[in-house]
Amino acid sequence: MGPNLSLPCDCMSVSLALKSTSSCLDPRLLQQKLHESSSRPDSFTSSTNSEGIFNNQSFYDSNSSSPHKTSIKDFVVQKVLGKGASGKVLLVTNKLHSLRFYAMKIIQKSQVYANNLSIHIKLEKETLKNSNSPFIVKLNYSFQTPTKIYLVMEYISGGDLFQFLRKKKRFSLQTAKFYLSEVILALDYLHNDLKLIYRDLKPENILIALNGHLKITDFGLAKNSQEKCVSIVGTPEYAAPEVILNQEQTTAVDIWSCGVLLFEMMAGFSPFSVGSKSSDEIQNKILKENVKFPSFFTEESKDLIGKMMRKNPNERIILEEIKKHRFFEDIDWKRVQRLDYQAPYKADQEKFKSNEQKELNESYDLNSLPDLEGLSFNTDDKRVDI
């Protein structure tokens, strides 16, 4: 759910239209993610064998004993939220729950098989399904047809932080602190509870709920933190030096991205912005230049950003130290977890016209492919197909 799709298993932002991007390193492995008003340079991704080898024989679902198997016939399309090379994202309702809206992400199964992305999709599905954090988007259903994969998630109708930041130009210190505190707890949950490296933190992947609180989405680039990880992925402006250098990655890559995020929220622009938006220039700036702070940045914010963006990942501040940093001295982390702090802004719900409603039809006559074992999930009865 973000403004550009680096892999077909990325969750795309469900509240905004999407625009195409292309890989700056290896276009054969890059999927297009669309967003109508993103101004980011192209994302990049380059997979290695350590990302996992696809095995056709391991992705067949067994028959389910459930009296009803969720399918596309259970949903009514309200509108198209975004389209991309790998598929589309739709705003839908369940025929049994007509007042509840969902974001239905449709992935072309041919893209999954062609690019060895089954492991990524299954990890994304498990992350969304198992999450128990108020700051992470939740999965409601997942199913597949002979040609497509469907992930049906809660619909976050307030848009993403990227668009909101562009509207406000830049945030006040307190507003930036509010948003960063919720992002920190989301990462804490991912790193320590789910044992994941997120690897794609940026404003486009941070959605705003109607109550003004945040939810992180887009887990297509997530990786098990206990496995070796060296692939080049993510958005250039948010990529840590070790990612650019194709070195082994740890959760420290997410800490670096936090530093970039805080800087951008307070300044209104990236610390690595270049006029040409060239990925090569951005990467060169990340590797060779130090962050230059605007004069209005406080000493506390400069100190925290500096510690989060140390080029050596082993010297970077860790999450527990971030929570204790004087930048957050007035923050009660238990209150953050309970959503007790009032959000600085309330989101506006996206409107749509009733005449856009239409039934979703599926063609079964094109390139039927094997199923992905263990994909099916139904939040209503907590049923999982194995």
294, two tokens: 């605007």
Q: Please tell me whether residues 190 and 151 are part of one structural domain.
A: no
Q: Please tell me whether residues 128 and 243 are part of one structural domain.
A: no
CA angle in degrees (0–180, nearest 5) for 134-250-332: 35
Q: How far apart are CA 82 and CA 91, in angstroms?
A: 9
Q: How far apart are the first and last CA of the chain?
A: 26
DSSP 21: -
Q: How far apart are CA 277 and CA 271, in angstroms?
A: 13
What is this structure's pTM? 0.76
Domain assignment of residue 45, given as a range: 27-157+350-384
The 10s digit of each residue's pLDDT in 65-117 is: 445 688 898 999 988 887 766 668 899 999 887 788 999 999 888 888 887 87
CA 245 to chain CA centroid, Å, is 23
- Whether 108 is in a domain gets the answer yes
CA 107 to chain CA centroid, Å, is 15
Which uninterrupted H or E stretch holds 255?
helix 252-267
pLDDT on residue 88 = 84
Q: Report how many domains make up the chain.
A: 2
Ramachandran assignment for 136, one of left (phi > 0), alpha (psi -120 to 50 degrees), beta (any other) = beta
- Whether 106 is in a domain gets the answer yes
CA angle in degrees (0–180, nearest 5) for 25-26-28: 160
Q: Is 318 strand, coil or helix?
A: coil
Q: How far apart are CA 231 and CA 364, in angstroms?
A: 35
- Whether 2 is in a domain gets the answer no
375, two tokens: 């994909």
Q: Which CATH number belongs to the domain containing residue 287 in this structure? A: 1.10.510.10
List, in sequence order, the alpha helices (H) in the chain: 109-114, 118-130, 161-168, 173-188, 241-244, 252-267, 279-288, 299-308, 319-324, 333-337
Please name the amino acid found at residue 263: F
pLDDT on residue 378 = 83
- 61-87 residues labelled b (16+ CB within 10 A) or e (exposed): beeeeeeeebebebbbbbeebbbbbbb
Q: Please tell me whether residues 319 and 364 are part of one structural domain.
A: no
Catalytic residues: 200
Q: How far apart are CA 321 and CA 314, in angstroms?
A: 14
Q: What is the pLDDT along the chain (386 residues), one digit of tens a residue?
A: 433 333 333 333 333 333 333 333 333 332 333 233 344 655 554 333 333 322 332 333 333 344 568 889 899 998 888 776 666 889 999 988 778 899 999 988 888 888 787 888 888 899 899 889 999 999 999 999 988 999 999 999 888 999 999 999 999 999 999 999 999 999 999 999 999 999 999 999 999 999 999 999 888 888 888 777 666 666 789 999 999 998 999 999 999 999 999 999 999 999 998 776 688 889 999 999 999 999 999 999 999 999 999 999 999 999 999 999 999 999 999 999 999 999 999 877 666 554 455 555 565 555 567 777 778 888 776 544 43
Q: Please tell me whether residues 326 and 213 are part of one structural domain.
A: yes
Q: Please tell me whether residues 173 and 307 are part of one structural domain.
A: yes
pLDDT on residue 276 = 66
193: CB partners within 8 A, 6+ apart = 132, 133
